Amino acid sequence: MSAQERNPRSSLPRFEEAEPLGPQDAAFVQDLVAVLGKHGNVERFGLCLLHDHFPLAADETLVETTDTEARTLRIHVEKASGTRHTKPSQWRFLQGVHHSRRAEFAGEPYEVILVCDPYSGCPPRK
């Protein structure tokens, strides 16, 4: 089974190959900040560098857990249908595609790429 068969999302570059933000992206970032500001979301959303470290099966999701006392984050793979972690924290835009791997976002022009474990302190317990 190929990586594309295992993972229905378009292939992403490996981390080593992904190009980070640079001076050539200044106009793009200014435009993005303006759009976020227009909708009151400058303090709500930011950017992340999309990349793959390994393929995920269509029924898998990445889960972030937090150990607040040790001040560490951990990301691991879980079956999407069996995870108790339900708060998405990273999304990927799907240009020209109107579907998501996660059923609750089906029909949306983005897919969830990382969910957070609210039981491990993400977000921090009060």
pLDDT of 41: 95
pLDDT tens-place string over residues 54-67: 888 888 889 998 88
In a domain, 3, yes or no: no
> Considering only CA atoms, which of 52, 76, 55, 81 is closest in space to residue 65?
76
At residue 2, the pLDDT reads: 43
Do 37 and 68 belong together in one domain? no
Verify that 98 and 83 share a domain, yes or no: yes
Looking at the structure, do residues 40 and 65 belong to the same domain, yes or no? no
Structure confidence by residue, pLDDT tens digits, 63-110:
998 888 889 989 999 998 888 777 888 888 877 665 555 555 566 777
Provide the residue type at 6 as one letter.
R
The domain of 82 spans 52-126
Distance CA 111, CA 91 (A): 5
The reported pLDDT for the residue numbered 101 is 58
Predicted confidence (pLDDT) per residue in 12-41, tens digit: 899 999 999 999 999 999 999 999 999 999
Let me know: does 120 contact 76? Beta carbons within 8 Å.
no
The confidence band for 4, taking pLDDT boundaries of 50, 70 and 90, is very low
The answer on 101 and 75 residing in a single domain is yes
C-alpha distances out from residue 62 to 29, 42, 91, Å: 27, 25, 11
Q: How many domains does the chain have?
A: 2
Task: Find the distance separating the first CA and the last CA of the chain, reported in whole Å.
Answer: 45
